[in-house]
Amino acid sequence: MSRPIIRPTDLDLESPGRRDYWVGLEHDTMWGVQTIPLTVFVGPKAQPGKGLVAFGSTHGNEYEGPAAIKNLLGEIKLEDVQGRIILVPVLNPEAFRTGTRDSVGADRVNLNRAFVDGAGESRALAGITHRIAQFVRCHIWPHAHIVLDLHSGGNQIRFDLCASFHPIADPELAKATEEAARWFGVPLIMVYQNLTPGLLTSEAERLGKITVGTELGWGEAVLRKGVAFGRQGILAAAIRHGQLRGEVKPFGAHADGTQKMATIVDADCYTSAPFAGHYEEVLPCGMGVKRGDIVGRLHDFDRIDEPAWPVRAGVEGAIVGQAWGARVIRGQHIVCVGQVIG
């Protein structure tokens, strides 16, 4: 299968058919280009401004999304495509190369904080990570109204596997977004705060797109369930929104009625480490808790004779996430409890 290296301006997301590209962005230090894999399927009913895009590896050490999207490259048949489907298994090749959350081998920027004003245009924001954000803005957003950004917890957080979005004021968009999230089949639908600057999903939501993020694993592994949820979510959105012909049935917690929705907008949902130490899990993710319940313990091994600090739930609800690696730094969120709303 031919996959040429092309410039973003030569990308064709309009003509009928399947095309497989390496999209080349100028390398910061090498005389060459950094390449982003992108596959587009365009069917006979594709409409201007309409389509689905699925991104993997916005962070370079989160692998369930890339695996699910890569698998779909060989599974989706062009004859079944009605609209437009854009698949980007690895959006952040620099971070993926080093297996890190940020682009540590280049500009040390977190791509999921890079969607800020002037990204890729001002001299101060001209590194590869901000230019990837500019590429998405200029060359992907105009062709998609459904955005799926598949994340995992990397080496920092373990999650109750979830699909996520922010509070959305438009009731019609909010309903469509929630439905797309539920069809992933994950145990948890997470509604989270929208104060963090530069998120890919925040910008897509502001543009009125049906936008769903995920947390499909942790520990820099490739969890089987996470890959399955990612596949289901992409196919369900594509089929239910007319981009792909076929049938899709509810899956996982969506099918058996155990799926829950929780919000983590309230600051009391987060418990942060008051000192650097080692985190011990007491209760697993997904478990229901009351405010004040002990979820974990934080140990200080320089004070070996002192008891561990009890890590308590700040609200009543369900444990959404907690520290994955034992070593944590002061100020790190080590427990997050979601307030169950449905």
Mean pLDDT on 257-273 = 96
Please report which confidence band the pLDDT of residue 140 belongs to, taking 50, 70 and 90 as the band edges.
Answer: very high
All domains of the chain, ordered by start, with CATH?
A: 5-264 (3.40.630.10), 267-340 (2.40.50.100)
CA distance 290 to 282: 14
DSSP H helical segments within 23-92, as ranges?
Answer: 64-73
- Give tens-digit pLDDT for 100-130: 999 998 899 999 999 999 998 888 898 999 9
**Residue found under tokens 């596997």:** 161
**Residue found under tokens 């050490």:** 61
Contact indicator for 281, 298 with CB cutoff of 8 Å: no
**How many C-beta neighbours within 10 Å does residue 252 have?**
18
Is 135's pLDDT higher than 90? Answer: yes
What's the whole-number average pLDDT of the chain?
A: 96
What per-residue confidence (pLDDT) applies to 204?
98
Question: Across-strand partners of 319?
Answer: 337
Is 29's pLDDT higher than 80? Answer: no
| Pick from 192, 251, 262, 336: nearest CA to 68 | 251
What per-residue confidence (pLDDT) applies to 323?
97
| Three-state SS at 260 | strand
**One-letter amino acid of 252:** G
What per-residue confidence (pLDDT) applies to 263?
97
- Give tens-digit pLDDT for 148-162: 999 999 998 999 999
Q: Is 162 exposed, middle or buried (0-12, 13-18, 19+ CB in 10 A)?
A: buried
| Least confidently predicted of 64-68, 84-88, 117-121, 207-211 | 117-121
What per-residue confidence (pLDDT) applies to 32?
86
Contact indicator for 285, 160 with CB cutoff of 8 Å: yes
What per-residue confidence (pLDDT) applies to 282?
98
Is 242's pLDDT higher than 90? Answer: yes
**How many C-beta neighbours within 10 Å does residue 299 have?**
17
Is 1's pLDDT higher than 60? Answer: no
Q: Is 47 exposed, middle or buried (0-12, 13-18, 19+ CB in 10 A)?
A: exposed
Contact indicator for 273, 284 with CB cutoff of 8 Å: no
Is 27's pLDDT higher than 90? Answer: no
Question: Across-strand partners of 80?
Answer: none
Contact indicator for 160, 188 with CB cutoff of 8 Å: yes
Q: Kindly report the pTM of this predicted structure.
A: 0.96
CA distance 160 to 26: 38
| Three-state SS at 184 | coil
Secondary structure (DSSP) of 292-335:
T-EEEEEE-TTSTTSPPEEEE-SSSEEEEEEE-SSEE-TT-EEE
Contacts of 174 (CB under 8 A, 6+ apart): 167, 168
CA distance 154 to 100: 8
- Give tens-digit pLDDT for 182-215: 999 999 999 998 888 999 999 999 999 999 999 9
Question: Running DSSP on this structure, what letter comes out for residue 244?
Answer: B
Please report which confidence band the pLDDT of residue 313 belongs to, taking 50, 70 and 90 as the band edges.
Answer: very high
